[in-house]
Amino acid sequence: MGDHKPTGISRWLFTTNHKDIGTMYLVFSFIMFLIGGGMAMVIRAELFQPGLQFVDPNFFNQMTTLHGLIMVFGAVMPATVGLANWLIPMMIGAPDMALPRMNNWSFWILPFAFTLLLLSLGMEGGAPNFGWTFYAPLSTTYAPPSTTFFIFGVHMMGISSIMGAINVIVTVFNMRAPGMTLMKMPLFVWTWLITAFLLVMVMPVLAGAVTMMLTDIHFGTSFFDTAGGGDPVLFQHVFWFFGHPEVYIMILPAFGIASAIIPTFSRKKLFGYASMVYATGSIAFLSFIVWAHHMFTVGMPVKAELFFMFATMLIAVPTGVKVFNWIATMWKGSITYETPMLYALAFVILFTIGGFSGVMLAITPVDWQYHDTYFVVAHFHYVLFPGAIFGTMAAVYYWLPKWTGRMYDEKLAKIHFWLSIVFVNLTFFPMHFSGLAGMQRRVPDYAIMYSDFNMMSSIGAFGLGLMQLLFAWILIKVCILKKGEKATDQVWEGAEGLEFTHLPSPAPYHSFSTPPKVD
């Protein structure tokens, strides 16, 4: 486009600039985060007390379905793609992403996909009501008409994800600055490169699953219909072969974020860079051979159950290596506790709690007690909220001065952090106990014995929702109202004069106008 710079709405519609596209991804993901959070408020309001208070049970099920789908595909994944767009070219010394027009297209597919999904709320029969895992035959034989819209939306999300992943792979392999070898790349680039390979491998599997659903509903096939010789359990195998690597697609970029932030605020080089790279690769490989630990109660052979149990426990080893390396990085470091570091530390601690409950769920005999209870809800929310979402918030606070040229309000940011920590634990920790006591998930009514735990979770959820409005105000102050101190090259107190270029992870505000220095 030469020297011509589009302005106004055309700047955003037709931009091929990786920073603009990264910003659009981040704004879109935050809007989806607030919408999905609003649906969580409906769920928690209904569960505040036993009995049916506010919504019809069918609408409650629609909320659980849309909340899960929007948070996974609309909030967490686009946020990490936005960070990749902003940071990867700068971290490897590239002028832009390798495929900038495709980059623009991959973003603009998403608003239409999620509009389709949300419009299904107004259709006859309502939105999909079969849970975010959309198990057959509930999602095929007994599904509302809006399921076809849902399938089309999932296909669009998948196309967007695959295009974004291809872009990352091509950019990293073809556009690194001279001297920037693979083993000199920042950990964030490594984690996203491995995430991109996971996306390319598993999104077609999801596409296959929803296409089989489509043909079962409209074209008389019987992939998942026992009356025609199909098998509903086949759906679970196909879905979780996608679904378990998907969990790591959401969390691996957060690992890279923590590996950038913790060394900076510890004033130390990252401990065990190579082992972190190999651990990330090991996690990605092992994520493909543990899918059936979601299916211990379907009647698999005992040998298969044992295989998936031991494979699941094995994945804790490379994850433990990462946690050990982060702790070793902080050991005897000159640590300061600005907001990004607080979020990174909370990520490590609370993600580890989620990992411990994951090991419990991996034990086949006792999983019969935990399966489909609120213990599972507690587990994956401890992994995803303090994991993926806290990781993203850490990244936003860490790089926001680099992006905007202004510092956010540190006092407000710390209030946001500390209250978020309190409310996250108040929301999700009691779910462990209600789940162990036998409370089923996705049920709008429950026995009075679970009422105290549910009341605590609902109070925590409302508080957590309010905190995200505070987060929105912090971002509006910096990004729209342009308030805040001007960010300097070294804005963190105590970091003046410290040379970061020897670190495997770049400093947050190091100038990237020239290719990064490498040894």
Active site positions, annotated? 67, 96, 132, 160-161, 244, 246, 248, 259, 293-294, 319, 322, 441
284/48 Cα distance (integer angstroms) = 38
Give CA–CA dist 82/396, Å, rounded: 11
Question: Residue 508: which residues within 8 A CB-CB, separation 6 or more?
Answer: 260, 264, 340, 398, 399, 401, 402, 492
Q: What gap in Å lies between CA 131 and CA 150, rounded to an integer?
A: 12
DSSP bridge partners of 459 = none
Phi and psi angles of residue 146, each rounded to the nearest 5 degrees, phi first: -65, -10
Q: 20 is written with which tokens?
A: 């603009």
The Cα 496–Cα 499 span in angstroms is 9
Question: Rounded to 5 degrees, what are φ and ψ at 270?
Answer: -60, 130
Do the beta carbons of residue 514 and residue 407 sit within 8 Å? no
Please return the burial class of 360, using the count of CB atoms within 10 Å of its CB with bins 0-12, 13-18 and 19+: middle
Q: How far is CA 25 from CA 29, 32, 184, 200, in A?
A: 6, 10, 27, 19
Phi first, then psi: give them for residue 274, nearest 5 degrees.
Answer: -60, -40
| CB-side neighbour CA atoms (13 Å) of 148 | 9
